[in-house]
Amino acid sequence: MTHDDFSALLNGPHASYYTGRWEYFKEAIAIIHSQSFEGIVELGPGHMPLVKHSDVILNPLDDQFGKPNEIYGNVHTFDATQKPWPIQDKTYDLFVALQVWEHLDNKQTRAFREVMRIARAAILSFPYQWGGGEEKPSHRAHRDIDWELINDWTLGIPPVKTIEIPRTGPEFSKGPRLICYWVFDA
């Protein structure tokens, strides 16, 4: 994704959803550009994958955040909270899930094991220490995520790189985020 691609999202029907997200998108993109990843898969990429030619994993149920407008890679359709994922071991160099992990219905640890099995590295982003949001039930998944919970979700495996993104707006959904990058043994 380029900044121009992102700007097109801001000029589309989902502008309010994407406003403020470039700050963490660009950090994930920088990690991707710093390495030589060939096969990339993204879980729940919204209306546009971060990497144009990546494969994508989509939920078989309708997703309120949509699916990519254009998909150039392969599409895997399955529930990421179930295992095993229908993907062979170490198929991908990189797995990406931005602002998705908190929605995995208390199956984050199970999903992280599958990520380690199918990929050599991973980039995940998390809402970080968001309070409030009680007015909307959909916001519950984003609240009170701290390092202890992230550590539980990721089996205590420390990321090799962590970037904290400050709040990008006054709305609940524009709170601070963490970008975490892991490299797993091949």
Q: What is the structure's pLDDT at 154?
A: 97
Q: What is the structure's pLDDT at 64?
A: 62
Q: Mean pLDDT for the chain?
A: 89
Q: Is residue 18 predicted with pLDDT exceeding 90?
A: no
47 or 179: which leads in pLDDT: 179
Q: What is the structure's pLDDT at 14?
A: 80
Looking at residues 130-144, what average pLDDT do you find? 66
Burial of residue 117 (number of CB atoms within 10 Å: 0-12, 13-18, 19+): middle
Q: What is the structure's pLDDT at 135?
A: 62
Domain limits at 64? Answer: 3-183
Q: What is the structure's pLDDT at 65?
A: 64
Work out the pLDDT band at 133, boundaries 50, 70, 90. low
79-83, 105-109, 141-145: least confident range: 141-145
- Give the highest mean pLDDT range of 16-20, 70-74, 154-158: 154-158
Total number of domains in the chain:
1
Looking at residues 81-97, what average pLDDT do you find? 97
The pLDDT tens digits of the residues spanning 91-106 come to 999 999 999 999 898 9
DSSP one-letter code for 143: B
Residue 18: which of 69, 85, 58, 60 has the closest Cα?
Answer: 69
The pLDDT tens digits of the residues spanning 34-44 come to 998 999 999 99
What CATH number is associated with residue 175? 3.40.50.150
In whole angstroms, give the CA distance from residue 1 to residue 105: 28
